[in-house]
Structure 1
């Protein structure tokens, strides 16, 4: 099976690296992946990892069972127009990784004028940058069909949730933009740690492991953030003082406002 990735920028490159590292669970070997990008410089690391690379989008998609389109939203229509006649809709799936592109848009752009041409299996996919470590929270919105190849591919790269299209903007804010929000918390906690006398590298190690532990607690069945918070907030204790100080500075409101601001309407 051949997988084609069009666009080897930050997200396309991360997906490619994740799929290469997951072999042979989805692709049999790195050579089953073909990445296309207009800049050879972006392709060099993938070629070194064993992937096939090209500067031709048409060459990349030829005979591909899964085409993953990772270009800027304003380029999606033009790239689809370029490649669609070279994709065999009888078996290929097309996954589009681009914000603000709709299922209706893709249904129109992927249509072939040739008589009797069938509708393609396609979907919108929204991973986050942790996809390169196979730790992504990915959302999949199906167009025609269920796109099982896409689901299996991104399932190797973290968790995948199939959702309705109307939920995608909010989900993107929570999990894609959310990577930056989580990292900004870590950065703020590191700055506070330095003020408290702890060197930044040591503080980063402490904070990252603490967040891994917090996330792991919430992966247990039946848990809830407030339940776990209650376990460490004793009456008159230090933790509740810290939480209340953060709330007085607008912590919860800042998080909610940030999510709302980064959700397209």
Structure 2
């Protein structure tokens, strides 16, 4: 239970390593990172004190957990490389977009596979990670939740919703940032210097999200608290809706969802 190998030391891999290396779940020396890039390996070794290797086969021997943190186009080659090496008691955790547990089990048929979908908030331990597993992986699922709670919040969902979770939780980072950029641009047009507009907009966004998260209220309840009759807030909100704000966001989310269902 106390050894883990992470295949892939890119941005997401580094975020996961950061969380695990700073938790009480694994000692840094029992975390091995595999990557073709010497630069990535040198960086994670220096920052986190973890073990590193360019050899997948050697690195997955005698470990309980193997996190597949590679691009979709790289996954099949990785699976082919480990299929004759993994033992039945090893758990594969996949962060790979668009690949089901059943598809992974076509190549490695005897291993439990658990799917996870973090987002780039993991770099600040603020990820929203959705997790899916089969019914017979309940015991392993509990520990995987603990792993990914080290980089933010987790939610266990049905596998059929993993594509939607990718859009809402992972692509959603970009959607919120695009709205934030627009707020900053509006602030500049009103007279703030760019850095001032960014400070105000960013802190306001953090405050808005925190109100909903910590008060456990619907966004509209918090909106009602800052809209007064005939005031400037309701004037701005109504103009945004007249210009199609909510409709555009929903259409954008659904366009992303339709696209992800075509990606393999």
Give TM-score scaled by structure 2 length: 0.91
1:80 aligns with 2:79: yes
Larger helix proportion, structure 1 or 2? 2
Contact 1:89-1:120 within 8 A present in 2 as well: yes
Cα deviation code 1:199-221 (max 9, x no counterpart)? 22222221121112111211245
Q: Report the counterpart of residue 127 of structure 2 in structure 1.
A: 136
- After superposition, residues 97-176 of structure 1 pair within 5 angstroms as 97-111=95-109, 119-143=110-134, 144-146=136-138, 147=140, 148-176=142-170
| Structure 2 residue aligned with 1:48 | 46
CA offsets 1:38-75 (integer angstroms, 9 cap, x no match) = 11112121010211111111122111121100111122
1:148-184, CA deviations, whole angstroms, 9 ceiling, x for partnerless residues? 3322111111111111111111111111000111111
Tell me how far apart the structure 2 counterparts of residues 103 and 254 of structure 1 sit (CA, whole Å): 33
Counterpart-to-counterpart distance in 2, 1:63 and 1:184: 44
Aligned residues: 254
Counting only pairs closer than 5 Å after superposition, residues 174-185 of structure 1 correspond to structure 2 as: 174-185=168-179
Match of 2:4?
Answer: 3
SS of the aligned residue for 2:74 comes to helix
**How far apart, CA to CA, are the structure 1 residues paired with 2:229 and 2:221?**
15
- The 4+ residue runs of structure 1 with deviation greater than 6 A are none
Other structure's SS at 1:34 match: strand
**In 1: Cα distance, 2:169 partner to 2:235 partner:** 29
Return the offset for 1:222.
4.9
8 A contact 2:15–2:151 mirrored in 1: no
Q: Select 1:188's aligned residue among 182, 191, 199.
A: 182
CA contact (8 A) 1:84 1:110 kept: yes
Stretches of structure 2 lacking an aligned partner (at least 5 in a row): none
Give SS of 1:59's match.
helix
Q: What do residues 82-123 of structure 1 show as CA deviations (whole Å, max 9, x unaligned)?
A: 113333322x22101111101220221212xxxxxxx32211
Specify the alignment match of 2:59 in structure 1: 60
Q: Secondary structure at the match of 1:176?
A: helix
User: C-alpha distance in 2, partners of 1:59/1:88?
Assistant: 13
Distance in structure 2 (CA, Å) of the matches to 1:171 and 1:163: 9
Q: Which blocks of at least 5 consecutive residues in structure 1 are unaligned?
A: 112-118
Give me the whole-angstrom Cα distance separating, in 2, the residues matched to 1:32 and 1:192.
Answer: 49
1:248 pairs, out of 242, 261, 264, with 242
For residues 137-158 of structure 1, the C-alpha deviation after alignment (integer angstroms, 9 at most, x for no partner) is 0011113512333221111111
TM-score using structure 1 length: 0.91
Contact kept? 1:57, 1:83, Cα under 8 Å = yes
**Alignment pair present for 1:17 and 2:11:** no
CA contact (8 A) 2:10 2:40 kept: yes
Query: Which stretch shows the higher mean deviation, 102-111 or 217-226?
Result: 217-226
Moved more, 160-169 or 217-226: 217-226
SS in 2 for 1:53: strand
The residue number in structure 2 matching 1:93 is: 91
Pairing 1:227-238 to 2, within 5 Å after superposition: 227-238=221-232
